[in-house]
Amino acid sequence: MKLIDGKATAMAIKAEIAEEVKCIVANGGKQPHLVAVLVGHDGGSETYVKNKVLACEQCGFKSTLIRYEENITETELLACVDKLNKDDDVDGFIVQLPLPKHIDEQKIVEAIDYHKDVDGFHPVNVGRMSIGLPCFISATPLGILTLLQRYHIETSGKKCVILGRSNIVGKPMAQLMMQKQYGDATVTVCHSHSATLKEECREADIIIAAIGRPDFVTADMVKEGAVVIDVGTTRVPDASRKSGFRLNGDVKFDEVAPKCSFITPVPGGVGPMTICSLMKNTLAAGKKEFYK
Ligand code: GUN
């Protein structure tokens, strides 16, 4: 069994990005600028955004954090998005999700100029991704693809089972694993209502678990030699930790790992790669790589 080290891979890629930024700036180019908008004080979102700002520093990007209280109105948030869309100094921006219930998330996502949508959540980017055109690809699926590539894991012609059908992970992951230019795999998507979920998993060469249920994937569901990618990051109460919780993946790691050829840990697997992919997208935005 080989452990896929997302933390080390992300560090290496951020160092590569930092080198490229140095060259861009040395040649008179613009330092990429990412803006993160954070509404409220959700613990998970606070951590994600803090890590995104830190990653910007590591990559040599300019970053700006805009904070709003939980009671901001939808109109006010839309005005913020509009301002960022028009600000030439801003290459890319994200609005951290989830948003408070009184704000229509989809309306906010669709208000973001797709040229600056480094999350890859705007329907234009989602649509372009699904037909294989250049675009911002959402960060978690892009991070997983990068891990598979960097570890030289063969995906072409393999049976890949994706657990979960979210807009952020399951659906785009399925699209990418299916496409010839990325995964080139035979893809099955399972979800909470799939009657044959266990059977599908047992036949899979690659399992990507993004179902959000701690320890869901057990050893009896995994074929000998399979590749297992764990996207789960559920906060589980843990009195032995200073924070009072630990991050729990969707895979019962201790019993599944011995059966795998490759497996990602939680934490230190997919998580750091997600942020690293956001950095890749921000660099691409700065370079106007996908859209002129
Ligand atoms: N919430 C959880 N993951 C993400 C992400 O990748 N981007 C944004 N904007 N919000 C999130």
Q: How far is the CA of 16 from the centre of ligand 1 (A)?
A: 24
Indicate the DSSP class of residue 251.
B
Neighbouring residues of 87: CB distance < 8 A, sequence distance ≥ 6: none
* pTM exceeds cut of 0.85: yes
- Helix, strand or coil for residue 255? helix
pLDDT in tens, the chain (292 residues): 999 999 999 999 999 999 999 999 999 999 999 999 999 999 999 999 999 999 999 999 999 999 999 999 999 999 999 999 999 999 999 999 999 999 999 999 999 999 999 999 999 999 999 999 999 999 999 999 999 999 999 999 999 999 999 999 999 999 999 999 999 999 999 999 999 999 999 999 999 999 999 999 999 999 999 999 999 999 999 999 999 999 999 999 999 999 999 999 999 999 999 999 999 999 999 999 999 7
Give the model's pLDDT for residue 272.
97
- The whole-angstrom distance between residue 28's C-alpha and the CA centroid of its chain comes to 31
Show the ligand 1 pocket: residues with CB < 6 angstroms.
94-97, 119, 139
- Tell me the torsion sign for CA atoms 118, 56, 45, 243: positive
Domains of the chain (ranges plus CATH)?
Answer: 139-270 (3.40.50.720)
Q: pLDDT at position 292, please?
A: 79
Annotated ligand binding at 268? The verdict is no
Question: Which residues are the active-site residues?
Answer: 52, 96, 119
For residue 97, which atom of ligand 1 is closest to its CA? 10
Q: Separation of 248 CA from ligand 1 center, angstroms?
A: 18
